[in-house]
Amino acid sequence: MPDDPARDPLTGARILLGVTGSVAAYKTPDLVRRLRGAGAEVRVVLSRGGCEFVTPLALQSVSGEPVRTELLDPTEESAMDHIALARWADRLLVAPASADSLARLSQGRADDLLGAVYLATDAPVSVAPGMNHRMWAHPATRRNADQLADDGVDRIGPAAGDQACGEEGEGRMAEPEVIVEHLRRHLAPKPLAGRRVLVTAGPTREPVDPVRFLSNRSTGKMGYAVAAAAAELGGEVTLVTGPTHLRDPEEITVVPVETAEAMAATVRDRLSEADLFAAVAAVSDHRPEERLASKRKGKEAFELALTPTPDILAEAAGRNDRPLILGFAAETESALASGRDKRRAKGGDYLAVNDISRPDAGFGTETNRLTLIGPEGEQALPFGSKREVARALLKRLATELAGRA
């Protein structure tokens, strides 16, 4: 069967999740749900400490598999369940990894099921530490974490922020969506390895006065999906984003801007360093000719003179040092015809067109439908989530980049 370019790298992956005695264990049912939602198979090893924070029944309910808790279990075949689990796993993920579990793993102790599986598996291992910030900062814990890194164990986090104990600092387990994204990047093919990708996303805001602004309904979801997919496929990604309510993607350089002029200036500065420029942002076409110094009051009618903002896509396409350029066109009628006109008018290499009047492809939706217009013609990409569509789109452009190289 031909490869599906939109396929999630986690599809079919067998993830063995070790849950240890950290309060962050309460997040693991959500983590399992997200992994399964991405297409992974999940089995769980729950330590005795972990049982104090989350029950085997809860994890069995979301994983659809029996939860293992004991090293020597006569109910399992040959009472050698640690060997069977170690051979089954494509990846061992310990999340949360408590300070005690880091110590045990770094010392190679095999007096519980998780430790025995760790020693018996040939699969890659990831740990997501979760503990009090002072425990994480302690020299003993850092030595154990460094030893695991030297042994080839991949680490996810920890993050900084408020902790269950009421204190604040670095030591929080990475959020489940961050862990899933991390694993996705590790498992994905890397056709964009060594490539620098510049992406714009979101709306821009053009101030009328200190309170009001002109903008549009873009949420930034498609641009963020393109940036995340580019990083997943191995690219070194810079995301220039207007105001959104989205979480900054991990391991991506994020440059926040507000106005079209600020976005244009950032693109001008960084374009020559990029191998691929994806102009996904919904940039305001006009801005007020003059910004009012104070808030305009009253209900009476007034005129607002507008002037054009920089055309970021056309400006980039006209440069001699430009990279491969992908533009986006969000259209409300005659989408393909309008997209063809836009590509001819603005230049660039490819243009992705979507009809935002459709209920499954407009601003704020979780899904999208794109038609890619390029030198070789037009190609309708498979319908799917914005991340799936972005993945298929970037794999197509990675092939073009490889051909140019």
Nearest to 18 by CA among 110, 107, 133, 114: 114
The alpha carbons of the chain give a radius of gyration, in whole angstroms, of 25
The span from the CA of 41 to the CA of 121, in Å, is: 17
The span from the CA of 6 to the CA of 383, in Å, is: 9
In degrees and rounded to multiples of 5, residue 374 shows phi and psi of: -145, -175
Determine the length of the chain.
405
Contact 35, 42 (CB under 8 A): yes
Q: Under DSSP, is residue 149 helix (H, G, I), strand (E, B) or coil?
A: helix
Tokens of 180: 């899933």
In degrees and rounded to multiples of 5, residue 302 shows phi and psi of: -150, 160
165 is catalytic: yes
Tell me the one-letter amino acid at 375. Answer: P
Nearest to 351 by CA among 307, 387, 316: 316
Tell me the one-letter amino acid at 12. Answer: G
Provide the terminal-to-terminal Cα distance of the chain, rounded to the nearest Å.
29
Output DSSP code: residue 203.
Answer: B
Torsion of CA 311, 316, 320, 322, to 10 degrees: 180
Q: Is the sign of the CA dihedral 164, 165, 166, 172 positive or negative? A: negative
Nearest to 15 by CA among 77, 88, 73, 120: 88
Q: Which residue has the tokens 């580019």?
A: 230
- Name the catalytic one among 165, 304, 345, 402: 165
Question: How many CB atoms within 10 Å of residue 307?
Answer: 10
Output DSSP code: residue 329.
Answer: E
Tell me the one-letter amino acid at 20. Answer: T
Q: Under DSSP, is residue 130 helix (H, G, I), strand (E, B) or coil?
A: coil
Q: What is the DSSP string of 60-82?
A: HHHHSSPEE--SS-TTSGGG-HH
Catalytic residues: 165
